[in-house]
């Protein structure tokens, strides 16, 4: 215990007073002092090409690829759909707000009657707040989605039914708690809980109605250590005690801070917990870092670098040269495989010339049909003979720390995948600076903390390494869907292997510099989250580690929470402008604290200690960035296909969940399947069906 505290203190001293390890991208219009990053293998050198905006000289719409909108899983919608939805929602909510007090009193009497509680339990300032607004939200969703009428009715009925049940159950529980002196269902805490009920209900409605990829079944082959569960419980306990202590002894300071816009409600224990919990996880990962390094055995393994390239002329040569320089100091074999897939420029010739001129790395240039990035990766994977497969984008420049930094993690036989921080090549544009803040916060801080309990849900496709045998065992990357990087991360984790994110390993990659490019990227990422959740939802039922049990539902919660930011923000502004809102402004501020306020405080500390302190001045602009990203997330939701699935005549019917769980229980217990030969044959047919549909056995 004392050694753990000593390591934590030593790390804090180094990060606060020694910034020699900071490696920042720079350019002429946004100057930064760049210091090389010292590693145990040598001194990192900034790759040539960093600071050059690669998007300026490329043709318009260059970012449109076969992965932009997978056939059968997305539909093209007019640009006016989301603005129309926002206007209608804000207007209808403003009208519904006029009846907020009568609805509050009537619903309150129902709760008092069901809970057998005395009058006056709810206090003076009671409001149903978001509850009627959510019903308006669901009705408008059902009207504006793209699909047949029956699908829309199904979405409406399912979501409303689930929300009604959750809302009534939680409100009754809070009513009984209020009788004991706890929070009221119509107070700040109660209305935040109602908002969580709405997020869960919307998720159930979407995933039971939208056309999404079929799920896959992945069998665990490595036993997961129980230490991760114990550490997660310890982190929750520490964060809970710390949150209670902070709210108890610093309540006066918190009340002062709560008066700041978007920070109202920080005095709530729940809001404090959301702020303290990631910090506790980060400190636990610091304490475990040396233990994991001691566990690593053997030398560095051979590495094969997969680089899918489509219309990357002018970029692919710099990428190959950066790999060649990184391989110069790498003791094991290193090879590069460039997969050109449907380029209309000189990508193939430039790649061939760059590979031929490489001095420290062998390689080859392959060609495949233009069926998407996953197809290109699978085509290259067939030629890889090395132990570790490093996947990067053609616009990514790796540093000399990448090969050593990622390969060393595979000395631990329990590690199946590893990644670092893909930073922007330039920070000239406002969008790139927002992305830099996001990467330092999400990857450098939060994802590093997730290392402690092995719950990382995605490793970025721009910089990620896996064991080759695991990729082969999983039949490669999922084709015909978005988010193949998150899907592969989840499937490797479901096998029982650890997923590692190393913030000391850095590369530099192209980031959107225009809103059109940002829109295409964010819609593809958001759709990839839907696809990843749909394909791996069986991991929750199969209890395949905390990555599935906790991180999968949490990823869905974050996604649907983001969908609600913009509609409720527009409604709040309209109610304030009309000056007749009966919703307490403190409750609205509390919701803002949960959604944005806590993150802003964490970001400032992250930039100061782990990232670039100069980016602190840009953090207020991140509020606008989040609203823009939320708008694109809404567009993604309306672009989902809500069409009936095609007929499966001639194909085996997918096995039902009760049948699967029964067969799985019999197999694990060793019960012979003589009397269930028909069911056993169905299970074999289901395996074959899943293999054909998702390229996974």
pLDDT of residue 597: 64
Q: What is the mean pLDDT of the chain?
A: 80
CB neighbourhood size of 44 (10 A): 23
Higher pLDDT, 386 or 273: 386
Q: Which residues pair with 42 in a beta bridge?
A: 39
How does residue 265 score in pLDDT terms, banded at 50, 70 and 90?
Answer: low
- pLDDT by residue (tens digit) across 307-329? 999 999 989 999 999 999 999 98
Q: Which pTM was predicted? A: 0.83
Q: Please state, in angstroms and rounded to a whole number, the distance separating the CA atoms of residues 465 and 500.
A: 10
**Is the predicted pLDDT of residue 164 greater than 60, yes or no?**
yes
Q: Please state, in angstroms and rounded to a whole number, the distance separating the CA atoms of residues 354 and 377.
A: 20
H or E element that contains 145: none
Q: Please state, in angstroms and rounded to a whole number, the distance separating the CA atoms of residues 477 and 242.
A: 42
pLDDT of residue 126: 58
How does residue 255 score in pLDDT terms, banded at 50, 70 and 90?
Answer: low
Backbone torsion region of residue 579, taken as left when φ is above 0, otherwise alpha when ψ lies between -120 and 50, otherwise beta = left
> What phi and psi values does residue 600 have, to the nearest 5 degrees?
-65, -40
pLDDT of residue 656: 53
pLDDT of residue 348: 94
User: How is residue 199 written in tokens?
Assistant: 């997020």
Q: Which residues pair with 388 in a beta bridge?
A: 303, 467
CB-based burial label for 674 (10 Å; 0-12, 13-18, 19+): exposed
Contact 553, 222 (CB under 8 A): no
DSSP structure class, residue 441: I
How does residue 406 score in pLDDT terms, banded at 50, 70 and 90?
Answer: very high
Contact 272, 594 (CB under 8 A): no
Q: What is the mean pLDDT of residues 336-359?
A: 93
> What phi and psi values does residue 139 have, to the nearest 5 degrees?
-60, -45
How does residue 82 score in pLDDT terms, banded at 50, 70 and 90?
Answer: very high
- pLDDT by residue (tens digit) across 477-487? 999 999 999 99
Classify the C-alpha dihedral 445-451-456-462 as positive or negative: positive
**Is the predicted pLDDT of residue 624 greater than 60, yes or no?**
yes
How does residue 128 score in pLDDT terms, banded at 50, 70 and 90?
Answer: low
- pLDDT by residue (tens digit) across 549-561? 999 998 988 888 8
Q: Please state, in angstroms and rounded to a whole number, the distance separating the CA atoms of residues 679 and 665.
A: 13
Q: Please state, in angstroms and rounded to a whole number, the distance separating the CA atoms of residues 477 and 60.
A: 29
Exposure string of 596-609, with b = 16+ CB inside 10 Å and e = fewer, is bbbbbbbbeebbee
Higher pLDDT, 601 or 512: 512
User: How is residue 307 written in tokens?
Assistant: 């680089």
Altogether, the residues listed in the chain come to a count of 697
pLDDT of residue 590: 52
> What is the residue-wise DSSP string for 329-387?
T--S-EEEEEEE-S-SSSHHHHHHHHHHH-SS-EEEEEE--SS-HHHHHHHHHTT--SS
Q: Please state, in angstroms and rounded to a whole number, the distance separating the CA atoms of residues 342 and 66.
A: 10
Contact 397, 507 (CB under 8 A): yes
pLDDT of residue 65: 84
Closest CA to 138 of 153, 154, 159: 159
Residues 6+ apart with CB under 8 A from 475: 691, 695, 696, 697
User: How is residue 631 written in tokens?
Assistant: 């708008």
- pLDDT by residue (tens digit) across 5-38? 344 444 433 433 333 333 333 333 333 333 333 4
pLDDT of residue 599: 77
How does residue 468 score in pLDDT terms, banded at 50, 70 and 90?
Answer: very high
Q: What is the mean pLDDT of residues 594-620?
A: 80
Residues 6+ apart with CB under 8 A from 351: 309, 316, 317, 320, 338, 340, 365
pLDDT of residue 8: 40
Domains and CATH numbers, the chain: 25-60+303-550 (3.90.550.10), 81-216+564-639 (no CATH), 657-694 (no CATH)
pLDDT of residue 592: 55
pLDDT of residue 49: 60
- Angle in degrees, 0-180, between the axes of helices 188-207 and 515-536, rounded to the nearest 10: 80
Q: Strand 388-392 vs strand 463-467: parallel, antiparallel, or unpaired? A: antiparallel
Give CA 8 to chain center in angstroms.
27
> What phi and psi values does residue 501 have, to the nearest 5 degrees?
-120, 120
> What is the residue-wise DSSP string for 550-592?
IIHHHHHHHHHHHHHHHHHHHHHHHHHHHT---S-HHHHHHHH
pLDDT of residue 479: 92
H or E element that contains 236: helix 227-249
Residues 6+ apart with CB under 8 A from 385: 302, 304, 335
- pLDDT by residue (tens digit) across 272-288? 787 889 999 998 888 87
For 56-148, where are the alpha helices, taking DSSP H only? 81-97, 100-115, 130-144
């Amino acid at each position: 215990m004392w050694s753990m505290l000593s390591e934590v203190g030593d790390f804090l001293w180094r990060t606060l007073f020694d910034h020699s390890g900071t490696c920042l991208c720079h350019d002429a219009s946004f100057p930064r002092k760049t210091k090389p990053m010292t590693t145990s293998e040598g001194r990192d050198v900034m790759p040539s090409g960093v600071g050059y905006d690669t998007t300026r000289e490329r043709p318009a719409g260059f970012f449109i690829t076969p992965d932009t909108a997978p056939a059968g899983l997305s539909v093209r919608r007019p640009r006016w759909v989301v603005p129309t939805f926002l206007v209608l929602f804000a207007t209808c909510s403003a009208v519904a707000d006029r009846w907020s007090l009568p609805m509050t009193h009537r619903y309150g009497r129902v709760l008092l009657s069901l809970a057998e509680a005395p009058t006056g339990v709810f206090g003076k300032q009671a409001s149903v707040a978001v509850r009627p607004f959510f019903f308006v939200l669901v009705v408008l969703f059902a009207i504006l989605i793209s699909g047949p009428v029956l699908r829309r009715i199904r979405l409406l009925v399912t979501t409303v039914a689930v929300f009604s049940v959750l809302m009534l159950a939680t409100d009754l529980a809070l009513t009984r708690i209020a009788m004991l002196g706890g929070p009221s269902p119509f107070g700040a805490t109660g209305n935040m809980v109602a908002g969580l009920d709405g997020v869960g209900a919307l998720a159930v409605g979407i995933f039971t109605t939208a056309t999404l990829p079929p799920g896959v079944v992945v069998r665990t082959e490595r036993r997961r250590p129980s230490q991760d569960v114990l550490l997660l419980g310890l982190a929750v306990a520490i964060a809970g005690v710390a949150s209670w202590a902070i709210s108890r002894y610093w309540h006066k300071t918190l009340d002062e801070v709560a008066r700041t816009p978007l920070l109202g409600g920080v005095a709530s224990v729940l809001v404090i917990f959301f702020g303290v919990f990631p910090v506790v996880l980060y400190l636990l990962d610091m304490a475990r870092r040396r233990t994991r390094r001691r566990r690593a055995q053997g030398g560095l393994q051979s590495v094969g670098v997969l680089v899918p390239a489509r219309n990357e002329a002018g970029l692919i040569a710099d990428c190959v040269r950066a790999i060649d320089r990184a391989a110069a100091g790498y003791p094991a074999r290193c090879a590069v495989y460039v997969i050109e897939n449907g380029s209309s420029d000189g990508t193939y010739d430039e790649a061939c010339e760059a590979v031929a001129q490489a001095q420290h790395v062998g390689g080859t240039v392959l060609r495949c049909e233009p069926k998407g990035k996953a197809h290109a990766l699978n085509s290259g994977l067939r030629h890889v003979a090395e132990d570790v497969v490093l996947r990067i984008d053609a616009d990514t420049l790796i540093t000399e720390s990448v090969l050593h930094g990622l390969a060393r993690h595979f000395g631990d036989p329990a590690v199946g995948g590893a990644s670092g921080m893909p930073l922007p090549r330039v920070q000239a544009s406002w969008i790139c600076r927002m992305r830099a803040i996001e990467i330092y916060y999400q990857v450098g801080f939060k994802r590093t903390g997730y290392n402690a309990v092995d719950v990382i849900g995605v490793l970025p496709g721009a910089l990620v390494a896996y064991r080759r045998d695991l990729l082969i065992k999983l039949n490669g990357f999922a084709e015909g869907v978005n988010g193949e990087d998150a899907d592969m991360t989840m499937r490797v984790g479901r096998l029982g292997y650890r997923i590692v994110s190393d913030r000391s390993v850095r590369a530099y990659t192209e980031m959107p510099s225009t809103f059109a490019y940002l829109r295409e990227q964010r819609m593809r990422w958001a759709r990839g989250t839907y696809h990843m959740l749909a394909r791996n939802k069986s991991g929750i039922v199969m209890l395949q580690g905390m990555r599935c049990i906790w991180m999968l539902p949490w990823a869905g919660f974050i996604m649907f929470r983001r969908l609600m930011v913009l509609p409720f923000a527009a409604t709040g502004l309209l109610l304030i402008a009309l000056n007749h809102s009966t919703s307490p402004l403190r409750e609205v501020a509390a919701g803002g604290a949960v959604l944005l306020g806590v993150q802003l405080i964490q970001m400032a500390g992250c930039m100061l200690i782990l990232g670039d302190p100069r980016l602190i001045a840009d953090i207020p602009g991140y509020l606008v960035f989040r609203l823009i990203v939320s708008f694109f997330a809404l567009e993604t939701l309306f672009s989902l296909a809500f069409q009936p699935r095609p007929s499966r005549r001639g194909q085996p019917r997918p096995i039902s969940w009760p049948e699967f769980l029964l067969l799985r229980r019999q197999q694990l217990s060793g019960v012979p399947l003589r009397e269930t030969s028909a069911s056993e044959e169905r299970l074999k047919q289901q395996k074959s069906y899943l293999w054909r549909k998702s390229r996974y056995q």
